[in-house]
């Protein structure tokens, strides 16, 4: 009967191989939870769907001067007023799912969007969730040198096909030579067509703000 031992072993191995060769059901990882910022972007889209006014987004790097531009464009009458603090960017959509996303003035609906390319407001969230297609006009505020993140956001704006204005902030000390160099750099980096205006304004004095308002 000793000859049966290797036979039994071989049969056992065959059975094991058959059982273990059966395909296993793939366990899918649980869906990744959306961040508060992403949820606010989705909420913004839903709010914009319900608005009939002229919808304008103000976008730019942290500290570019977006909130002060909005306040000056509306003579401080926009409701609610934008948050202007001493820190680089006081507007924050990453912590409170009930934070204010829109402001209103006459027939205009403004969104003073938080500065992008930060830990709390990463470019990836803007690329995947921001409702670019639900605005009528973009005011793209530029302060210092342009970065890759500016180019990426501007590409998304252009992809939406909506009207866009470039607003160069803190421009009160610029002379004509400075303006020429800045405009050339912006047009090259953002691949701007001649139809896209570059407007200059002062956050301190308000010079140039009316020209921006008249273009929207």
Domain ranges of the chain: 36-215
Contact between 72 and 167 (Cβ < 8 Å): no
Q: CA-based angle 80:113:145, to the nearest 5? A: 130
pTM value is 0.84
Q: Rounded distance, CA 159 to CA 172, Å?
A: 32
Q: Please, which residues have CB within 8 angstroms of residue 94's CB and are 6 or more apart in sequence? A: 35, 36, 37, 40, 114, 120, 121
1-53 pLDDT, tens digit per residue, is 544 445 445 445 544 454 455 555 666 666 678 899 999 999 999 999 999 99
* CATH code reported for the domain at 36-215: 3.40.50.300
- C-alpha 83/C-alpha 164 separation (Å) is 23
**pLDDT tens figures, 75-125:** 999 999 887 765 566 789 999 999 999 999 999 999 999 999 999 999 999
What's the CA gap between 70 and 88, in Å, rounded?
16
């Amino acid at each position: 009967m000793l000859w049966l031992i290797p036979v039994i072993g071989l049969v056992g191995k065959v059975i094991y191989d058959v059982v273990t060769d059966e395909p296993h059901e793939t366990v899918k990882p649980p869906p990744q939870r959306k961040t508060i910022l992403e949820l606010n972007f989705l909420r913004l889209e839903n709010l914009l769907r319900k608005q009939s006014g002229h919808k304008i987004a103000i976008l730019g790097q942290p500290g570019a001067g977006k909130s002060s531009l909005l306040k000056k464009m509306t003579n401080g009458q926009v409701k609610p007023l934008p948050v202007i603090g001493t820190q680089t960017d006081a507007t924050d959509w990453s912590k409170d799912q009930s934070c204010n996303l829109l402001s209103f003035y006459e027939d205009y609906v403004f969104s003073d969007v938080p500065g992008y390319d930060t830990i709390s407001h990463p470019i990836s969230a803007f690329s995947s969730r921001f409702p670019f297609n639900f605005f009528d006009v973009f005011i793209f505020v530029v302060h210092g040198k342009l970065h890759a993140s500016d180019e990426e956001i501007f590409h998304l704006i252009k992809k939406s096909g909506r009207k866009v204005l470039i607003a160069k902030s803190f421009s009160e000390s610029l002379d004509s030579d400075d303006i020429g160099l800045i405009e050339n750099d912006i047009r090259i980096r953002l691949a701007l067509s001649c139809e896209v205006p570059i407007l200059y304004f002062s956050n301190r004095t308000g010079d140039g703000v009316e020209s921006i308002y008249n273009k929207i």
